[in-house]
Amino acid sequence: MYIISTIPLVILALLLVPSLSALLIAIIKSRIVGEIVTIFSSTTLLILSVVILYHVIYEGTILCFGGEFGVDSLSAWLLILISFISLMASLYSIKYIRYELIEKKITKKRANMYYALFNIFFFTMVLLVTTNNIIIMWVALEATT
């Protein structure tokens, strides 16, 4: 009997959710869609991070995609921290961005760009803690700044 692990797909989903969310926000160009997609993305990141933490605690370190990506116990806890901060920041930023729009400090285009860049930032943070490749890690670290 073969046991097929879906954990590599969970790690892939961790990377795809924020990047595809940013792409969707950039294509649709609606503030409401940006808000909804960003909250969905952040919530999904937190759920997937909890799944990975559970797997790491009970099964050990995860290595996938030829060892290029992996999650150990430190990375799993960092994923929880990153995704929790992502969710809290996305919830807070909705009211903040709406206020900025009402006060005419930013345009709708800038609000849409904020939500897209928000998701790209958290994509790079997740990439940073899940990669085992030092070059990709350096690129992800530089992309966060």
Q: Which residues contact 29 (CB under 8 A, 6 or more apart)?
A: 109, 112
Residue 50 lies in a domain: yes
pLDDT bin (cut points 50, 70, 90) of residue 145 is confident
Residue 41 has pLDDT above 80, yes or no: yes
Q: Is 73 helix (H, G, I), strand (E, B) or coil?
A: helix
Least confident of 31-40, 60-69, 113-122: 60-69
Total domains, the chain:
1
The predicted pLDDT at position 1 comes to 41
Residue 94 lies in a domain: yes
Q: Residues 24, 28, 30, CA angle at the centre, nearest 5°?
A: 115
Long-range pairs for 59-68: beta carbons < 8 A, 24 or more residues apart: 62/7, 62/8, 62/11, 63/132, 64/7, 64/8, 64/11, 65/8, 65/11, 65/12, 67/132, 68/131, 68/132, 68/133, 68/136
Element (H, E) at 69: strand 69-71
- Model-level pTM greater than 0.85? yes
Residue 13 has pLDDT above 80, yes or no: yes
Residue 2 lies in a domain: no
Q: What is the mean pLDDT of residues 47-63?
A: 92
Structural domain of 114: 7-144
Residue 1 lies in a domain: no
H-type helices in 103-133, by residue range? 108-130
